């Protein structure tokens, strides 16, 4: 990697330029400063401080319980750890749905207190008035359509979207409306490959970032814990590729530590004062 490339700050304009040039966009989640620093070092384009923190860090079954205060704290930590990647904060459940004013104030908190550079919010065409106003306030917005986990109880589980004509029409209409409202990018989650392709090709400035939405999206996102193998046993959706399996490595290291302490091998002489 050239040093010029290393120093170039990723902005929302980078997303738009990459889409125009047909260059893929890379996104991963992070929730703390250390991992954010590693992602920056590896030159990821963008870090999404996802409300998946609710599941993967806080142990909840859904993303519903996580609060604004917790999400702002995670965002601020990530922003302290990364300087190159574009930092996008995920707006938690009920931080933007109740009213446009609530949405603007909470989106603004992510920039003012969390040092985020953009926010993401779930929902299709019905969110257009809210998105339009947030964008008008100078806050870049990433949309999120398909399976939107904050509405998991309405979907009745993590079901692939775009299988029925009604759902396909809603997704296509929503994508165009979100682009028109000013979103610089949009997550497509758990979508049939053909509809994700059709949506991606129909858009001019809004980059699609897929998770379980096939290879033709403008970019891809995964939850960092999942792709590093730091996930509960049995959780292995088809779209998830594990790039490392850290769970057994961590368990083995902890086991060795326990063994060493129990047997008086830790700390050694040169680890003592
Ligand atoms: O919260 C999250 O991590 C997300 C990604 C899965 C897109 O929304």
Are 66 and 184 found together in one domain? yes
Q: Do residue 218 and residue 270 come from a single domain? A: no
Look at strands 207-211 and 118-120 and give their pairing: unpaired
User: Domain check: are 85 and 180 in the same one?
Assistant: yes
Range of the domain at 268: 245-273
Q: What's the mean pLDDT when you consider all of the chain?
A: 96
For residues 64 and 77, what is the distance between their CA atoms, to the nearest angstrom? 21
Cis bond upstream, residue 267 (ω within 30): yes
Residue closest by Cα to atom 8 of ligand 1: 50
- Residue from 221, 226, 230, 237 whose mutation best tests the ligand 1 pocket (most atoms within 8 A of CB): 221
Mutate to test the pocket of ligand 1, among 53, 88, 90, 226 (most ligand atoms within 8 A of CB): 90
Please check whether residue 158 is in contact with residue 187, taking contact to mean a CB–CB distance below 8 angstroms: no
- Can you tell me the distance from the alpha carbon of 128 to that of 130, in angstroms, rounded to the nearest whole number? 5
Same domain, 190 and 268: no
Q: Using one digit for the tens of pLDDT, what is the confidence trace for 99-146?
A: 999 999 999 999 999 999 999 999 999 999 999 999 999 999 999 999
Q: Are residues 147 and 254 in the same domain?
A: no
Question: Which candidate, 78, 83, 42, 49, places its Cα nearest to that of 66?
Answer: 49
Helix, coil or strand: residue 118: strand
Say if residue 253 is in the same domain as residue 131.
no
Are 46 and 87 spatial neighbours (Cβ–Cβ below 8 Å)?
yes
Q: Which of 22, 82, 18 is nearest to 47 (CA)?
A: 82
Q: How many domains does the chain have?
A: 2
Virtual CA dihedral for 249, 252, 253, 254, nearest 10 degrees?
Answer: 120
Question: At which residue do the structure tokens 């302490």 appear?
Answer: 261
Residues 23 and 53 reside in one and the same domain: yes
Predicted TM-score (pTM) of this structure: 0.96
pLDDT in tens, 173-229: 999 999 999 999 999 999 999 999 999 999 999 999 999 999 999 999 999 999 999
């Amino acid at each position: 990697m050239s040093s010029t490339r290393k120093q170039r700050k990723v902005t929302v304009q980078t997303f738009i330029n990459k889409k125009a040039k047909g260059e893929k966009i890379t996104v991963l989640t992070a929730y703390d400063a250390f991992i954010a620093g590693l992602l920056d070092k590896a030159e990821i384009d963008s870090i999404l401080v996802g409300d998946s923190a609710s599941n993967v860090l806080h142990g909840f079954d859904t993303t519903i319980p996580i609060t604004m205060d917790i999400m702002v704290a995670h965002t601020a930590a990530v922003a302290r750890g990364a300087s190159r990647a574009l930092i996008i904060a995920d707006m938690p459940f009920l931080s933007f749905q109740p009213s446009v004013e609530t949405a603007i104030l909470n989106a603004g908190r992510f920039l003012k207190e969390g040092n985020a550079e953009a926010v993401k919010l779930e929902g299709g065409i019905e969110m257009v008035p809210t998105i339009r106003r947030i964008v008008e306030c100078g806050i870049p917005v990433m949309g999120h359509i398909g399976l939107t986990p904050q509405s998991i109880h309405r979907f009745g589980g993590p079901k692939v979207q775009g299988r029925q004509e009604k759902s396909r029409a809603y997704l296509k209409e929503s994508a165009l409306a979100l682009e028109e409202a000013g979103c610089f990018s949009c997550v497509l989650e758990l979508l049939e490959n053909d509809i994700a392709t059709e949506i991606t090709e129909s858009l001019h400035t809004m980059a699609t970032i897929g998770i379980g939405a096939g290879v033709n999206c403008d970019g891809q996102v995964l939850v960092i814990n999942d792709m590093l193998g730091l996930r509960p046993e049995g959780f292995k959706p088809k779209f998830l590729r594990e790039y490392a399996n850290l769970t057994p490595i961590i368990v083995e290291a902890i086991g060795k530590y326990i063994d060493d302490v129990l047997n008086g091998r830790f700390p050694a002489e040169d680890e003592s004062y």
